[in-house]
Amino acid sequence: MKKIVFLIVFIAFANHSFSQQRPKLVVGIVVDQMKMEYLYRFSNDFSTTGFKRLMNDGFVFQNMHYNYMPTYTAPGHASIYTGTTPAVHGIVGNEWYNRSTSKEMYCTDDSSVKTIGDGTPKEGEMSPKNLQTTTITDELKLATNFKGKVIGISLKDRGAILPAGHFANWAFWYSKTGAFISSTFYGEKLPNWLNEFNSEKHFMPYINQGWNLLKPLENYNESLPDENKYEGSLNGAKPVFPYNLKELYDKSDAGILRSTPFGNDLLAELAIRAIEKEDLGKDETTDFLTISFSSTDYVGHILGPRSMELQDTYLRLDNTISELLKSLDKTVGKGNYLLFLTADHGGAENARFLKDNKYNVTNIETKDFVKNLRKFSADTFGSDLVLNYSNFNLFLNKEQIQSKGLDLVKVKQTFVSFLLSQEQIKKVYTDEEIKANSGNDYYINCIAKGYDATQNGDMVILDKPGYIEFGATGTSHGTPYSYDTHVPMLFYGWNIKKGVSYQHKVITQLAPTLAQKLEIAFPNGTEAAVLTEVLEK
């Protein structure tokens, strides 16, 4: 009888121990400006060991979307890791005009900290202080009593800082000097291993080799011809292969690497070095490495979604993912790491490309739009009442409106009527309408989730589908339409079964899902809706 009781207790204890088990390392990958469609369009030219390995052996959410506007880089990274939207976490753009302070601000600006490393003084004045909620990485630090390491890396400061959260050991980002830097928020000096990495100047071999097509020309039949009118200029260079990166580097600086696929390669080299030198995944306490690949965004903005350059960037990123997975298998061990891959937003088609193919849309130059808006105000009210226009937000000069004895509500409605007369504008929502949102209007619901009443404008503008506020070449993003919201979501590794879901999911489900998977607390701003498909044993 005693043996039976002991066996029952032992089994219960064993099951409890198993339920508390966590992976040795979590790797979060964000690919900047990656539409889910790229995994379909470029599939024939991917290897079996990169994106296809994640898709074939992991769990794929085919219908993952952002659930707010504006769909930009900083809000995207913040939303992925906090499990909530800009209305709660407070990162309402990459940079924005703040209603409360009446000042322009950048998402990670922090003048109280200084650059550490070989960067310019301004490049390192960054921290997560503007992020108002905790991240899943923060909650892991708390759950492990700060024993688990958290490190964030990216070419962009915001891509490194926001995912790593408030309690990170380090966040590292790329300087135009070619070095990775950080700020005194994290420490007084860079780790020795990073100084060594920087001293080796890993960026220079990429600069010296230049950029040519990875594969034969015929493989790029998913893209437009090499030189086309929808492509912009890469730092003054004609958008034609091959690119002489050494020449561009000599004319500018090492920042040129950002706008090539080799920025991603350099970041992967740093990730592999960080895993080795920081002993990530080497003990029983879970660590977390966040990686944000930014070159895809730079190339997309400049050269557009139909360029050979963008396709080549993704084919090379496929190889980079493959090498990273091989390194993780070797250093951490298969089955010991949990990896996810997603994107911070998608991207629109070039509007003039669509127009030339008989879809009646075009691009809108923001400076021209604002100029017309200010002229309308002066003609109608006798003065310019436009305080600021940015991120689809219009701010009115309320002090001037009051001093002129004008009725604010009537002024707003007059602006709304004018805006709705513009070709590209579908709807305009006032701040009162946004705050009173009932949730019945899909688009106002997206806007409300991206709207912080203490920071955003007096009205928010929604353009019609297909229009973009951007130049004639390249592309942009920011809307609540599917081309900007539909992104990959791939889970792979520790306790992840193979599978696929076609149900509509939203990006804010990722962080609470990880919290449940790791059996730790939710980030404090999340609504805690989870992806049950990857939680099932």
Whole-number Å distance between alpha carbons of 313 and 30:
15
Q: Are strands 287-293 and 25-31 parallel, antiparallel or unpaired?
A: parallel
Rounded CA-CA distance 158/164 in Å is 10
Strand partners, 79: none
Beta-bridged to residue 106, according to DSSP, are 95
What pLDDT, on the 0 to 100 scale, is given for residue 7?
A: 43
**For 148-164, what is the mean pLDDT?**
98
194-207 pLDDT, tens per residue?
999 999 999 999 99
Chain mean pLDDT for the chain? 95
With cut-offs at 50, 70 and 90, classify the pLDDT of residue 438: confident
**In the predicted model, what is the mean pLDDT of residues 502-525?**
98
Please count the CA atoms within 13 angstroms of the CA of 352 that sit on its side-chain side. 16
Of the residues 48, 49, 71, 73, which is catalytic?
Answer: 73
Instruction: Find the helix or strand (DSSP H, E) in which 425 lies.
Output: strand 425-430
Q: How confident is the model at residue 14 (pLDDT cuts 50, 70, 90)?
A: very low
How far is CA 402 from its chain centroid? 40
Residue length, the chain? 537
For 241-298, how does the pLDDT look when each residue is reduced to its tens digit (9 = 90+)?
A: 999 999 999 999 999 999 999 999 999 999 999 999 999 999 999 999 999 999 999 9
Reading the block at residue 380, the tokens are 């109608």
Task: Tell me if the bond preceding 163 is cis, omega within 30° of 0.
Answer: no
Q: How is residue 48 annotated by DSSP?
A: T
- Residue 332 pLDDT > 50: yes
Taking the alpha carbons of 303, 295, 370, 68 in that order, is the dihedral positive or negative? Answer: positive
- The amino acid at residue 256 is I
12 pLDDT band, cuts 50/70/90, is very low
Dump the DSSP string for 478-527. Answer: -SSSHHHHEE-EEEEETT---EEE-S-EEGGGHHHHHHHHHT-PPPTT--
pLDDT in tens, 360-403: 999 999 999 999 999 999 999 999 999 999 999 999 999 999 99
* DSSP strands (E only) in 48-98: 59-61, 64-65, 95-98
* Cβ contact 256:235 at 8 Å: yes
State the distance between the two ends of the chain, measured CA to CA, in whole angstroms. Answer: 32
The closest alpha carbon to 475, from 29, 30, 32, belongs to 32
Task: Among 10-19, 129-138, 155-164, 269-278, name the one with the lowest average pLDDT.
Answer: 10-19
Look at 172 and 13; give whichever has higher pLDDT: 172
Per-residue confidence (pLDDT) for residue 99, from 0 to 100: 85
Whether the predicted pLDDT of 336 surpasses 60: yes
508 neighbors 67 (Cβ within 8 angstroms): yes
How far is Cα 201 from Cα 414, in angstroms, rounded to an integer? 57
Task: Band the pLDDT of 417: cuts 50, 70, 90.
Answer: very high
Over residues 17-34, the mean pLDDT reads 85
State the average pLDDT over residues 508-536. Answer: 97
User: What secondary structure, in 3-state letters, does 3-44 show?
Assistant: HHHHHHHHHHHHHHHHHHCCCCEEEEEEECCCCCHHHHHCHH
Which of 76, 153, 126 has its CA nearest to residue 324?
A: 153
Residue 440 pLDDT grade (very low, low, confident, very high; cuts 50, 70, 90)? confident
Cβ neighbourhood burial of 195 (10 Å; 0-12, 13-18, 19+): middle
- What integer is the mean pLDDT of 88-104? 94
Whether residue 6 is predicted with pLDDT greater than 80 in this model: the reply is no
pLDDT of 340 higher than 60: yes
Q: Let me know: does 509 contact 517? Beta carbons within 8 Å.
A: no
pTM for the predicted model, two decimal places:
0.95
What is the percent of the chain with per-residue pLDDT over 90, rounded to a whole number?
93
Mind listing the pLDDT tens digit for each residue in 231-251? Answer: 999 988 999 999 999 999 999
Residue environment code for 484-503, b if the CB has 16+ CB neighbours within 10 A, otherwise e: bbbbbbbbbbbebeeeebee
Decide if pLDDT at 20 tops 60: no
State yes or no: is 73 an active-site residue: yes
Q: Tell me which of 5-9, 423-427, 510-514 is least confident.
A: 5-9
3 pLDDT above the threshold of 70: no
Predicted local distance difference test score (pLDDT) of residue 380: 97
SS3 at position 340:
strand
pLDDT band with cut points at 50, 70 and 90 for residue 18: very low
